[in-house]
Structure 1
Amino acid sequence: MTASTIKPQNQALTLNPSELRLRHILKTLPREVFIKDRRKAWTSVAISVLLACLGYVSIAFSPWFLLPLCWIFTGTALTGFFVIGHDCGHRSFANRRWVNDLVGHTMMLPLIYPFHSWRILHNYHHAHTNKLDEDNAWQPFKPEFYGSAGRPLQWGYQAIRGWFWWVGSIAHWALLHFDWSRFEGKQRSQVKFSSLLVLVTAAIAFPILIATIGIWGFVKFWLAPWLVYHFWMSTFTLVHHTDPEIPFKPESEWNEAMAQLAGSVHCDYPRWVEILCHDINVHVPHHLSTAIPSYNLRMAHRSLKQNWGQYLRECRFSLSLMNKIVSECHLYHPQENYESFQSYHSSLKDNKK
């Protein structure tokens, strides 16, 4: 961003970026984007449940060579379950907290995802988006930390920042979301409840599945779609927060409004993915306000393009996009934002000469 001032269209604001606050941006959004619609919310639940059921039926009756397509469809439909739980975690699904908690737990339970731990950690990410050493959603390692890490951690980090990015959310899920000792007070009790709920469910359901349909049945009906779901979770997270031009800033330089407006990415995916995932790809308005329900994100994005379009980052999901991210965006660099593994190791070799 090279502009020294911000001049949103149709607004009388002219602000230096350092003076920009979220309220300046939110005032330009239509009031309707913040309104919850009970019919739309529950329709999204019905759509996800019906599509997931359709996916499981297709798995049950399809020949073996069509199973990968069935897994992709079903896993993507299950990602829609998570997006509804995502709205519940932000309290944008319903007005009553107990409804958000009930629906959130219900939708995330088939994914073996603890609702409260995800809700708390994810809201922390929203409060510290692209803040160095604070954002808990896959921020880049600093070179000095990476260099001092053991080989297993280096290899693991290279994998999820490379072509194995799609398993990154599995590591995030396993390492962060079941440890209630990380939390305190009421939050610890909530996280413990959510964690034990999914663990007990898995301990009961998985043996029953294996006993009734066998190991292959368990893989076919649960594990394979679950891996597809994590593919989308990993991909959405990485693409929406990673670009060679997006900086991670130390707290002293961090501006919340600019981090949310220009530090998250809108990415267009195939339309069937966007439908099954309830427009979670329309990411920028969601970062500006978590109060916007998923079914209002497109309306909010149109308003942002009209008023703040010069600061929005937009792209289209493709192999070339992923190649750009996994080839360049590895380690933190204070001037260039990112340093690749290749550049880092080349520098080490040069320093040893």
Structure 2
Amino acid sequence: MKYRTPILSRSLFELSVTILPFLLIWTLAWQLISVSPWLSLCLALLNAGFLVRIFLIQHDCGHAAFFGSRALNDWTGRILGVLTLTPYDVWRRTHAIHHSTTGNLDRRGVGDIPTMTVSEFQARSRLKRIIYRALRNPLFLFGLAPFYIFFLQNRLPVGLMRSGRIYWASALLTNAGIAATLALLWVFGGLQVILLIFLPTTLFASSIGMWLFYVQHQFEDTEWDHEPDWVVQNAALHGSSYYVLPPVLNWFTANIGAHHIHHLASRIPFYRLSEVLREHDMLAGIQRITLLDSLRCARLHLWDEDARRLVTFAEAKA
């Protein structure tokens, strides 16, 4: 497929216009911290958008989609992983599992958001239902969960603990890079730089990332099936959304809104997904959700196997 071929000059351009503003805003926020801590904090939150874009470039590297060279993809992804607090080799493997199991009710649990069917939820004890409700609460999903995943879980190769030394090396070397970065910030900027710039940028970016991942698969007309009826192409096209965002947000999120296309062909660089939409306009009408539509998705928590849609807890009870 012609879209799968990365364009080196375009990849380098996209990397430059993401990394350089990120570093410049970081520097400006640092310089202004003694003048106005609140202004530094605002810049840190703005910079979260660039950190999200850095993560999505790392994401493309993990799919061998950003550069033509596998080695260049891998080493770029590993370096960016220090900025995103994400061990590249660990994430690449678990994300590949997500792509190969998305929408499969019999293979849930790796690289996805915990999702029960209505019948499973109703069969659980009262305590387990309360725990599941807590896990699906937006405050947990987009507040505590991102902190846990990026600051704690990513420090170990969770899910791949016995899968080989490469995953331990990935986690531990990423940790070393993060520790070195924090040490430099502490020595030259003090605790204030970490609390007012590093933490807000990273936390806000991780929450945005969690929201994007949620909306890409947790929408009303998504697709889930048990193994005998599950087809990976169908799950990719109908179990992933086309999240239509305003142009500015689409730029910061690196076209990841065209998630149904990405799941169909993950080797397409993010900057070529718009080409696919332009030249295959029928794809623009599949699983389309707008920014306003997406806000309603936070209320959906259970897969109704009879109605074949995600429903709210109230709908499941009724």
Normalised TM-score (structure 1): 0.78
User: Which residues in structure 2 correspond to 1:3-42 (within 5 Å)?
Assistant: 31-42=1-12
Conserved 8 A contact 2:277-2:284 = no
1:157 and 2:129 are equivalent in the alignment: no
Show the counterpart of 2:314.
Answer: 342
Show the counterpart of 1:197.
Answer: 173
Q: In angstroms, what is the RMSD of aligned CA positions?
A: 2.6
Show the counterpart of 2:15.
Answer: 45
1:114 and 2:114 are equivalent in the alignment: no
SS at match of 1:41: helix
Aligned AA (1:55): I
- Alignment partners' CA distance in 2, 1:90 and 1:83: 11
- Alignment partners' CA distance in 1, 2:151 and 2:78: 17
Deviation at 1:104, TM superposition (A): 0.4
- Alignment partners' CA distance in 1, 2:303 and 2:289: 22
User: Which residues in structure 2 correspond to 1:144-223 (within 5 Å)?
Assistant: 144=120, 147-148=124-125, 150=128, 153-154=131-132, 156-159=134-137, 162-167=138-143, 168-173=145-150, 177-180=154-157, 182-183=159-160, 188-223=164-199
- Alignment partners' CA distance in 2, 1:248 and 1:68: 41
1:305–1:118 distance in 2 versus 1, CA, 3 Å:
same
1:95–1:196 distance in 2 versus 1, CA, 3 Å:
same
Show the counterpart of 1:140.
Answer: 115
Number of residue equivalences: 308
Deviation at 1:212, TM superposition (A): 3.4
Aligned AA (1:117): V
SS at match of 2:298: helix
SS at match of 1:244: coil
Deviation at 1:211, TM superposition (A): 4.0
Unpaired runs of 5+ residues, structure 1, are 1-30, 348-353
Unpaired runs of 5+ residues, structure 2, are none
1:182–1:276 distance in 2 versus 1, CA, 3 Å:
closer
Normalised TM-score (structure 2): 0.86
Deviation at 1:151, TM superposition (A): 7.7
- Alignment partners' CA distance in 1, 2:150 and 2:239: 23
Deviation at 1:235, TM superposition (A): 1.3
SS at match of 1:246: coil
1:234-279 CA-to-partner distances (Å, cap 9, x unmatched) read 1110111111111321111212222111221111223222223322
Aligned AA (1:180): P
1:179–1:57 distance in 2 versus 1, CA, 3 Å:
closer
For 2:303, which of 313, 332, 338 is the aligned residue?
332
Aligned-pair identity in percent equals 20
Deviation at 1:113, TM superposition (A): 0.8
